[in-house]
Amino acid sequence: MTSVTHETALLLPACRVSHFDGWTLHTADRIPSTNPVAGKRLPAWHALRALVQTAAYGRTGRAWTSDPGGLWLSANLPCPGERARWAILPLAAGWAVTGALRELGLRTAGLRLRWPNDIMIGPRKLAGLLVERFTPDTATIGIGLNLTNSPERIDAALTGATARLCDHLPDAACDPDVVLRRILAAIRRAHAMIADPEQGFAPIAADLNAAWSDAPSHVAITLTAALGGATREGHFHGIDADGRLRLAFDDDPVCHFYDATQIELLRERGSLH
């Protein structure tokens, strides 16, 4: 098992350290953003939690409100071999976190993963994930989950746009340590599935597509600047075996495929169930 060297420990903020279920958890009171600190300073199977983040960010660098009362966590996973094999890790992690929340008792209608990395309750965002690579053979999974915090108090623009776990589960199930352990266990299981050549991503993709199959949603996507930055509307038809979004546009019924690096923004025009 890998360990933190003395030199690496000196680079970390003051942390409380605990060990459980094959993980080493470092907990800090305040960090600018857990992802780069964990990704650059900790080995695989180590996780970093901050009670507050002061400069957190999501996909495309968008700011992420990280006030006290939320779960702000980054977990490092080993990803050896071909990089393409692990390209589906963001979706697998989202699937794992959604499953962990169900295990905690969250049976709320509308709980779902919104491609590629948001966990929603209806139209409101409960959690977001960001997977980054800071070293060649390790992926860092950043998770921001609203527990008892109120993001709209920090940013009024978020009023009506976010959900909190405490509004849907009893207090005992919202204990940060309980939630964290359940999430890390689920992520470890998802990693084992991907690493197993007998399983891989196929069962995860099938489960996600089954959850999305009831009513394909009308969506609008904005492509990245490298692809022209155009916005197009179409219908979401799940993902392929590589985790790519399948879209049929209003003016072209043939399915087109996009990975998360090609889409700047996805907006839902209908509901996914």
Residue 255 has pLDDT above 50, yes or no: yes
Output the average pLDDT for the chain.
88
Q: CA triplet 107, 112, 115: central angle to 5 degrees?
A: 170
Q: Closest Cα partner for 29 from 86, 79, 68?
A: 68
Is the confidence at residue 90, as pLDDT, over 90?
Answer: yes
Helices (H) and strands (E) in the chain, counts: 6, 13
Which has more pLDDT, 64 or 172?
A: 172
- Per-residue pLDDT tens over the stretch 218-250: 888 999 988 999 999 998 889 998 899 999 987
Within a 10 A sphere around the Cβ of 215, how many other Cβ atoms?
Answer: 12
> What domains are defined for the chain?
6-210 (3.30.930.10), 215-268 (2.30.30.100)
Taking residues 176-195, report their average pLDDT: 97
Q: What angle do CA 219, 224, 225 make, to 5 degrees?
A: 135
Residue 7 has pLDDT above 50, yes or no: no
Q: How confident is the model at residue 97 (pLDDT cuts 50, 70, 90)?
A: very high
Distance CA 155, CA 165 (A): 19
Q: In what order do the strands lie in the sheet with 138-145?
A: 16-20, 23-31, 46-53, 71-78, 138-145, 124-135, 118-121, 111-114
What per-residue confidence (pLDDT) applies to 159? Answer: 75
Looking at residue 273, what is its pLDDT? Answer: 38
pLDDT at 241: 87
pLDDT(190) > 70: yes
- The pLDDT, as a whole number, for residue 6 is 42
Q: What is the pLDDT of residue 100?
A: 98
pLDDT tens for each residue of 107-161: 888 899 998 889 999 889 999 999 999 999 999 999 999 999 988 787 777 778 8
Looking at residue 214, what is its pLDDT?
60
CB atoms within 10 A of CB 168: 18
Asked whether the predicted pLDDT for residue 215 surpasses 70, the reply is: no
Residue 28's contacts (CB-CB under 8 Å, 6 or more residues apart) are 12, 13, 14, 15, 16, 48, 49, 50, 51
